[in-house]
Structure 1
Amino acid sequence: MVEAPTGALHQHQYGGTACRSGQVEGFLMPLFAPAAPAALRELFERHFRGAGTWRHAWSDEERRRLRAIVETVRHWTSDGVTELPHPLQLDEDRLDRADEAWVPVLTPDGPAVLVWSNSD
């Protein structure tokens, strides 16, 4: 979900069994990431045991792992010119907000949140 002043609010449950609820004003974007869902589930459901990671102190290895997964996700810009997809980037300035099914990312269209089906 790309953050933008659109007037459209998108809500999403995240955080594993913590059952948090987040909201973003903006727009949805198409993504291509055939391997990312399994890798994200492995990290958040197995490594973190599905209990959420709100305000987690990420180790260098955990941060590297999440960054590598996020970079496998491809995004097409909304500029109407660029035909090639761009990899997402982990927004490390907002990493303290990252949780299962809610990861702050950067796109060519601006800041966004990468979401997927929560395990809970």
Structure 2
Amino acid sequence: MSSRRFVFLDPDGTSGRGWSSVLVEAKTGVVYQQQYGGTACRQGRIEGFLVPLSGRDELDALRELFEKHFRGAGTWNHVWPDDERERLRDLIGAVRYWACDGTTEKPHPLRLDESRIGDADEAWVPVITPDGPGVLVWLNSD
């Protein structure tokens, strides 16, 4: 019997449009799965832990970029020109990630993981957190 557990985020699409989380990469035995990429309906998975986020304005701005600018069709193999990359970098930097050292919680801005920019897509954006690399996820628009 496998000790790994699989969790599919919002499998039936009924959790509402206002959620976002970061999946932080770590050896936990829990693998999160997420549909992403707009109508391209890609499937991503990452082993780690989930950190729920707040910030409706930031989420709305990310949805605007991917659903309107990119028309919800995904950005697989997209070459990110400087202006689009800067916009994504700024949007990700506005998202606050609350890290706790066991006694004190502090908000930290997320950073776009530009070494993995080729993986960036609607509802699946590689980021750097205070806890290490991860992926910013939210409800896919398809």
Tell me the TM-score normalized by structure 2: 0.81
Q: Tell me, which stretches of 5 or more residues in structure 1 are unaligned?
A: none
State how far apart, in whole Å, the 2-side matches of 1:95 and 1:81 are: 34
Q: Over the residues paired in the alignment, what is the CA RMSD in angstroms?
A: 1.0
Specify which structure has the higher proportion of strand.
Answer: 2
Alpha-carbon distance change, 78 to 24 in structure 1, aligned in 2, over 3 angstroms: farther
Question: 1:32 maps to which residue?
Answer: 54
Displaced runs of 4 or more, over 3 A: none
Q: Give the aligned length.
A: 120
Q: Does 1:99 align with 2:116?
A: no
Between structure 1 and structure 2, the one with the greater Rg is 2
Q: Percent identity?
A: 66
State how far apart, in whole Å, the 2-side matches of 1:104 and 1:82 are: 26
Q: 1:9 aligns with which of 17, 31, 37?
A: 31
Please state how far the C-alpha of 1:95 moved relative to its aligned partner: 0.3
Q: 2:105 aligns with which of 75, 79, 83?
A: 83
Question: Contact between 1:30 and 1:76, CA under 8 Å: does it hold in 2?
Answer: no
Tell me the TM-score normalized by structure 1: 0.96
